[in-house]
Structure 1
Amino acid sequence: MILKFHSDFFKDISSLLNADNYNVIIKVGEKENIKEFYAHSNILRAHSQHFKYIISNDIIKKCNILTINKPNITPTVFEIILKYFYTGKFNIENQSGENNFDLLIACDDLFLEELVKYVQYYLIDKQESWIQQNFVLILNIIFNLPNFKKLQDYCISFICRNPLILFNSKDYGYLKNTLSIFIPLIKFINIASDDFYDNVRPYEAIIPIDIYDDIMKYYLVKQPLS
């Protein structure tokens, strides 16, 4: 009975998704990729602390239809979120890694904590290859965002296991201020000397001098046989 009630409840709510009696217009996207979505203030406020904060009863009383601009959220992403609000369904299996990462950022912006957790796990479990191909930019975006610890930990672990990928990244020079804090975590002794010379040595200027000295000592001083 509980499951059927839950299903019937969302069936009734979902009928409002394309109804004409909306009182909020959400304009998302920017430039050539802009779309307007129509919604109900009570639905938005019930699901999102962000909307609850910006949509007050006084504001609704003052204007028949409230317009909210969210240029930082793409139409594709907001359509997924709005469908979740009205139907309880959240299907991201057919979305690209890029779209799901944008979705993660949007969910955080709207204070959708459960979805933030879910999307992080999904990206790591199902779209790991996309993360690894884009981890430098991903880490730069999420590094100072406290709700993305799962994804942060994954990226840091990946860097420690694959340090040469960090130095070979085309984005490294642009992001060196962010990424330099991870240098002490790298196990340079696991990097072959020729790889170090070709791929790491060019970045000597940003490696802390004490760490660089230890690295050079390791490569230049004959190590005792174990």
Structure 2
Amino acid sequence: MTTQFYDRLSNDLTQLFESGANYVSIEVSEEEIPLTNIYKVHSIILQFRSPYFKKKFDEINSNDKVLKLPNISVKVFNVIIKYIYGGKISLKKLENSVIFDLLIASNELELDELVEHLQSHLVNDNVSWLRLKFAQIYKTSYQVKNFKIIRDFCNNIIAKYPNTIFESENFHSLPEDALVSILKQDDLQLEESKLWEYVIEWGKAKNPNLPTDLDKWKSDNFLSLKKTLKGCLPHIRYFSFSNDDVVEKIYPYQQLLEYQLFSDINIKFISPTKPISSIVLPPRKILETTLPTRITPILLSSNIITNEHALEISSWIDRKEIPYIENNPYEFKLLVRGSRDGFEVKTIYNICDKVSKTIIILKVECTGEILGGVKDSKYAIYHYPSESDFSFSAALCLIGNLKTEKCHCTENFGYPKPIRSSEFEFSVEEYEVFKISPRK
């Protein structure tokens, strides 16, 4: 039997790093926050732990003892260097955005073990955040080829909820291989004619000089769009279109299709039983032939959150494992806004006292963080009028004038994790209080 002493080995190597003996230097600097850290490291350890560092140390002059990493933040590299030396990481106090930056940096440094672990962590423990940032995450997963776990997770979501990506403001910037991957999915829950419209829309966005009026298009215009959609067109299920959709949606763009394919579409349109030579892809496996009635969205009056945030909050209210994608069941009625009503804590109390079912949302000065959310109602709100103090247990304390005085967050047993990764005091750029009520 082999006995393994990994903890002692990890501790010894961590102490070696902290000692700074026989070192070379790595410079990590941040553009957004003027900050530069110099790390004293041992090149032999980094070279054996990371193919990236092996190449870099082989490239630099032996007399040059500084390796610069301009694309990685200090906060992220602090985690990475501890992993390299000690084989340990703690994600407990890291914001999800930092964890995702850590994933990107780990991939750049070719730390495959860490890349796989971080993907699994996000997919298994942070589904809500992935959904909130879905378009950005999905786009990145195709730009970075090693993000297979996240890419598969995203493809599964898109198959069930296509509007997550197709109605996203980032849809037009979707990489071609990502769009092709979606088109290949047999279980994509979207009518083929609607999918065709999205593909055409995506192609037009890649060719902004095309005439707006289709009647004014020339052969060169169709040829340009056809070249752009070269990888997409073979994956459309043309023979799943209804006759009306063939006339209304395919005929106007017939020049995009090869002659034989368009001829076969016509044959099937006129004589469905007649054999054709084109490949007939199977129809998609649509689980619901009748789609639910779409509720007209109510314009969210907020300077802080988006409709996607509101859907996420509504999912928390209903304790949904799978967050709402559309059709928010709740209306968010604005009661108080700092920039409109003032930033004094007493203002919140005067307007919202005895009003039930409310949420408060804060935007932190300088960092842009959005804070809010209550898990356990027993620790929801404490108010001390004489002290101008408005608190959520000790997890979030709002004091006096939120603009000029310092609020703070601390770890608290009433909440599963800290509201902020930093316990430093902060000021509030904006806050809003909403009353939540079921939509009629």
Give the TM-score category using the shorter length: 0.7 to 0.9
Cα shift readout 1:29-63 (whole Å, capped 9, x = no counterpart) = 4312443222111221121111122224x967x32
Letter in 2 for 1:174: S
Structure 2 residue corresponding to 1:48, chosen from 47, 50, 62 = 50
Partner secondary structure for residue 68 of structure 2: strand
Asked which structure has the greater CA Rg, the reply is 2
Instruction: State how far apart, in whole Å, the 2-side matches of 1:82 and 1:11 are.
Output: 13
- Evaluate the alpha carbon distance shift between residue 12 and residue 80 of structure 1 in structure 2; reply closer, same or farther with a 3 A threshold: same
Instruction: State how far apart, in whole Å, the 2-side matches of 1:35 and 1:172 are.
Output: 38
CA deviation after TM superposition for structure 1 residue 21, in Å: 2.3
Partner secondary structure for residue 72 of structure 2: coil
CA deviation after TM superposition for structure 1 residue 8, in Å: 2.2
Letter in 1 for 2:11: K
Partner secondary structure for residue 16 of structure 2: coil
- Conserved 8 A contact 1:123-1:131: yes
- Conserved 8 A contact 2:139-2:175: no
Letter in 2 for 1:19: S
Partner of 1:175: 174
Letter in 1 for 2:40: Y
- Evaluate the alpha carbon distance shift between residue 168 and residue 22 of structure 1 in structure 2; reply closer, same or farther with a 3 A threshold: farther
- Evaluate the alpha carbon distance shift between residue 43 and residue 219 of structure 1 in structure 2; reply closer, same or farther with a 3 A threshold: same
- Evaluate the alpha carbon distance shift between residue 218 and residue 10 of structure 1 in structure 2; reply closer, same or farther with a 3 A threshold: farther
Partner secondary structure for residue 21 of structure 2: coil
Instruction: State how far apart, in whole Å, the 1-side matches of 2:129 and 2:35 are.
Output: 23
CA deviation after TM superposition for structure 1 residue 96, in Å: 1.8
Larger RCO (CA under 8 A, 6+ residues apart): 1
TM-score by length of 2: 0.42
Partner of 2:91: 92
Partner secondary structure for residue 169 of structure 2: coil
Equivalent residues in 2 for 1:1-226 (5 A)?
A: 2-3=3-4, 5-31=5-31, 32-56=34-58, 62-63=62-63, 66-175=65-174, 177=176, 179-181=178-180, 182-183=182-183, 185=185, 186-189=188-191, 205-206=201-202, 214=240
Higher strand share: 2
Cα shift readout 1:70-109 (whole Å, capped 9, x = no counterpart) = 1121111111010112222122232222111111111111
CA deviation after TM superposition for structure 1 residue 177, in Å: 4.5
- Evaluate the alpha carbon distance shift between residue 203 and residue 52 of structure 1 in structure 2; reply closer, same or farther with a 3 A threshold: closer
- Conserved 8 A contact 1:107-1:115: yes
Partner secondary structure for residue 92 of structure 1: coil
- Conserved 8 A contact 1:27-1:36: yes
- Conserved 8 A contact 1:204-1:212: no
- Conserved 8 A contact 1:45-1:55: yes
Letter in 1 for 2:153: Y
CA deviation after TM superposition for structure 1 residue 126, in Å: 0.7
Instruction: State how far apart, in whole Å, the 2-side matches of 1:218 and 1:180 are.
Output: 26
Instruction: State how far apart, in whole Å, the 2-side matches of 1:176 and 1:49 are.
Output: 28
Q: Which moved more, 1:96-105 or 1:34-43?
A: 34-43
Instruction: State how far apart, in whole Å, the 1-side matches of 2:108 and 2:6 are.
Output: 27
Q: CA RMSD in A?
A: 3.3
Partner secondary structure for residue 143 of structure 1: helix
CA deviation after TM superposition for structure 1 residue 146, in Å: 3.1
Instruction: State how far apart, in whole Å, the 1-side matches of 2:88 and 2:198 are.
Output: 50
- Conserved 8 A contact 1:184-1:211: no
Partner secondary structure for residue 16 of structure 1: helix
Q: Structure 1, unaligned stretches of length 5 or more? A: none
Partner secondary structure for residue 48 of structure 2: helix
Instruction: State how far apart, in whole Å, the 2-side matches of 1:116 and 1:51 are.
Output: 16
- Conserved 8 A contact 2:134-2:164: no
- Evaluate the alpha carbon distance shift between residue 111 and residue 176 of structure 1 in structure 2; reply closer, same or farther with a 3 A threshold: closer
Letter in 2 for 1:205: E
Instruction: State how far apart, in whole Å, the 1-side matches of 2:165 and 2:242 are.
Output: 19
Instruction: State how far apart, in whole Å, the 1-side matches of 2:22 and 2:38 are.
Output: 12
CA deviation after TM superposition for structure 1 residue 143, in Å: 0.8
Identity of aligned residues (%): 26
Partner secondary structure for residue 18 of structure 1: helix
